[in-house]
Chains A and B, each alone.
Chain A
Amino acid sequence: MENLRTDVLVVGAGPAGSMTAKWAAKSGAQVVMIEKRQEIGSPVRCGEGISRSWLPEVGITPSSKWINVEVEGARIYAPNEQCLEINEKHAGNEVGFVVERDGFDKALAIDAANAGADVLLKTAALGVIKENGRVVGVKGKRFGEAFEIRAKVTIGADGFESQLGRWAGIPTNLALRDMDSCLQYRMTNVDCDVRYCDFYLGKVAPGGYVWIFPKAEGLANVGIGVQLSQITGMAEARKYLDAWIAHHPQYAKGKKIDMVGGGVSISPPLKQTVTDGLMLVGDAARMIDPLTGGGIANGCIAGKICGEYAAKAVELGTPTKEFFQGYEKAWRARLEEKLYRNWLAKEKLCSLSDETFNKVVDALQGVKLEKLTVHNILKAVREKYPDVTKEFAAFL
C-alpha cells in the first residue's frame, strides 16, 4: 500500500480529533485524520449528556440531527432519594442536550472533511515513527495491510485507551482511584422525565454515580460509573447497576435494548501533553472533567486550540516540544483551573458517607443559589448542619 505524507496527522475521529482536524485545515494545513473503525461514532461509548454553553466557542451549531432532548435541568438524588433540582443555568452548564452520539461525531467529522481534512477509515495506528527523538508519523494497518503515514505534526486523539502518548514517551498512566469503570443500558418502557438528567449519588455507585439521561418519552440511558479503587471483584459496574435498577421499579420494568461500557479517567490534569512532533488532545490527554466524567466539551475546546497550533507549527516549520508549549499553556489557561478544582471536589465526594450526602442535599432544599459553586453549597450546608462543614474546611 502507498505510504502517505501530510502536514498534520490526527489519530482518532472522535469529537476532539475532528475538531482538531477541522481547525488545522481551516488554518491552512494539509490534514489527514485516521480512524480504526469502519464507521465514525459507532459503536457509541457515551452517556450522551452534554452541556451547550461551549458550542459557539468551537463553531458547532446545534442540530436536530443529533439532539434527542433539550433538558431543563438536573436532579441530584441523595442516598435517601431526597432530590435537589438544579436549573440548567445553575448547573455549571453540565446539562443541556441529550444527544445521539454517533450522529454528533459524524457531524463533526463532516465539518472536518468540509474544511479540507482527508478521512481514512479502517486505518489503525500501531506505533509511532520517531526520527532523532521526534515523532514524525505513525505506522499501522489500513484495511489489514501495513502502512505508514509521515506527518510534520502528529495528534493523539485516540481516546481513553490512548496509546499514542505512551508510544511517544508521555506518561499517561492512571492510578486506580483516577479511573471509573462504566456501564450503561439504553432502556425502553421506563418512567423517565424528559425535562431532567438525573444523578444518584452515594454507595449505590462508589466513587461515581448512577445517571439517567432521557432520550425520549419512555426511553433513557441508564448508566453507572464506579471507581476502581473502591471495587474488588469482577463485573462490579454491572452488578451495581443491576442492583440499582432492581431497586427502582420505574426502571426495573423497562427493557434493555442496548449496552455500552468503557473507562473514564477522573484524574487531575496530566503534567505533560506534548512532545517533539506530537500533541495529545481530549480523553487521550486526560481532559475529562473528573467530577462529571464528561469529556466532549473539553475535548472540543482543546481540539480547536490544538488544530490552530498544529497549523502554525507547520507554517513556521517548528513542530517542537518548545513550540507546542503554546498549546499546552493555552488549553491549560482555558480548562485547567476547573479540571483541578473539580478533581479536588471529586476526591472529597468519593470519601463522603451516605449520611453526609443526605445532609448536604437536605440543607440545600429550598435554598436559592445564585450560582452552584462549591463555596455557595457549603455556605448553605453550614447554616443547617454546621458539623458537616468541618469535613469541608479546606474548601471554604
Chain B
Amino acid sequence: MNKKLLHIESSGQLCIYCGACVGVCPLNCIYLDETRITFDEKICTRCEICVKACPVGAIEIG
C-alpha cells in the first residue's frame, strides 16, 4: 500500500497541544504527551479527520 505522508507539526510552531486530533482519531492512533504529539504510522489510514479537526492547521497530508 502506498500511503500518503502524514505530518504532525508538534514542535510548537503551530501545534497548541489541544488534543482535538487525539479525540477525533477513529483508530486511536494519535497520542498527546504534555508537549508532544505522536501517531502510529502503522495504524493510521490517512483518513484526514485529524487534519480537519486541527484548529490551527498543524497537521498536513501530502
Which residues does A use to contact B, with CB under 8 Å?
36-38, 43, 45, 124, 159-163, 166, 173-174, 176, 179, 181-183, 228, 231-238, 259-263, 265
Query: Which residues of A sit under 8 angstroms from B60, Cβ to Cβ?
Result: 234
Which residues does B use to contact A, with CB under 8 Å?
16-24, 26, 28, 32-34, 49, 51-57, 59-60
Known: A176-B52, A235-B55. A261 touches B23 (CB 8 A): no
Asked if B19 and A181 sit within 8 Å, CB to CB, the answer is no
Known contacts A36-B34, A228-B53, A235-B55, then 17 further A-B pairs from the complex at CB < 8 Å, ordered by chain A residue: A159-B23, A160-B23, A161-B32, A163-B28, A176-B49, A181-B20, A181-B55, A182-B55, A228-B49, A232-B52, A234-B59, A237-B56, A260-B16, A260-B18, A261-B56, A262-B18, A263-B21
Nearest chain B residue, comparing its CB with the CB of A173:
B26
A348 vs chain B, min Cβ distance (A): 23
Query: Which residues of A sit under 8 angstroms from B24, Cβ to Cβ?
Result: 174, 179, 228, 263
Asked if B18 and A234 sit within 8 Å, CB to CB, the answer is no
Known: A163-B28, A228-B52. A262 touches B57 (CB 8 A): no
Nearest chain A residue, comparing its CB with the CB of B16:
A261
Most A CB atoms within 10 A — which of B18, B23, B32, B49? B23
Query: Which residues of B sit under 8 angstroms from A124, Cβ to Cβ?
Result: 33
Bound-state CA distance A216–B51 (Å) is: 35
A14 vs chain B, min Cβ distance (A): 12
Subset of 5 A-B contacts with CB under 8 Å: A179-B23, A181-B55, A234-B60, A235-B54, A262-B55
Query: Which residues of A sit under 8 angstroms from B52, Cβ to Cβ?
Result: 176, 181, 228, 231-234, 236
A227 vs chain B, min Cβ distance (A): 10
Asked if A181 and B53 sit within 8 Å, CB to CB, the answer is yes
Query: Which residues of A sit under 8 angstroms from B17, Cβ to Cβ?
Result: 43
Most A CB atoms within 10 A — which of B24, B26, B33, B51? B24
A141 vs chain B, min Cβ distance (A): 9
Asked if A238 and B18 sit within 8 Å, CB to CB, the answer is no
Query: Which residues of A sit under 8 angstroms from B57, Cβ to Cβ?
Result: 234-235, 238
Asked if B49 and A263 sit within 8 Å, CB to CB, the answer is no
Closest 8 CB pairs of A and B: A235-B57, A263-B20, A237-B55, A161-B22, A261-B18, A161-B23, A234-B57, A183-B55
Known: A228-B52, A228-B53, A238-B55. A261 touches B20 (CB 8 A): yes
B54 vs chain A, min Cβ distance (A): 7
Query: Which residues of B sit under 8 angstroms from A176, Cβ to Cβ?
Result: 49, 52
Query: Which residues of A sit under 8 angstroms from B20, Cβ to Cβ?
Result: 160-161, 181-182, 261-263
Bound-state CA distance A166–B22 (Å) is: 12
Q: Which of B26, B34, B53 contacts A263 (CB 8 A)?
A: B53
B6 vs chain A, min Cβ distance (A): 12
Known: A163-B28, A263-B24. A37 touches B34 (CB 8 A): yes
Query: Which residues of B sit under 8 angstroms from A37, Cβ to Cβ?
Result: 34
Query: Which residues of B sit under 8 angstroms from A45, Cβ to Cβ?
Result: 18-19
Nearest chain B residue, comparing its CB with the CB of A226:
B55
Bound-state CA distance A45–B32 (Å) is: 15
